[in-house]
Structure 1
């Protein structure tokens, strides 16, 4: 299965970026060496 879009709805400062980065690392789309600016 290829996931192209995800949506995370949460209040400000509740870790949206952190969880998105973790999901992308686990799926192999993003590594620790890559930068998400």
Structure 2
């Protein structure tokens, strides 16, 4: 495995983690919003 391939994988992992974090954050905001509405 070359250095470039390793960097590519690391970048992909970072993007995936950011995506999951964003999804989780949006879910938390939606749930909080629903509870506040009641």
Q: Give the structure-2-normalised TM-score.
A: 0.41
Q: Larger Rg: 1 or 2?
A: 2
Structure with the bigger percentage of helix: 2
Q: How high is the TM-score relative to the length of structure 1?
A: 0.42
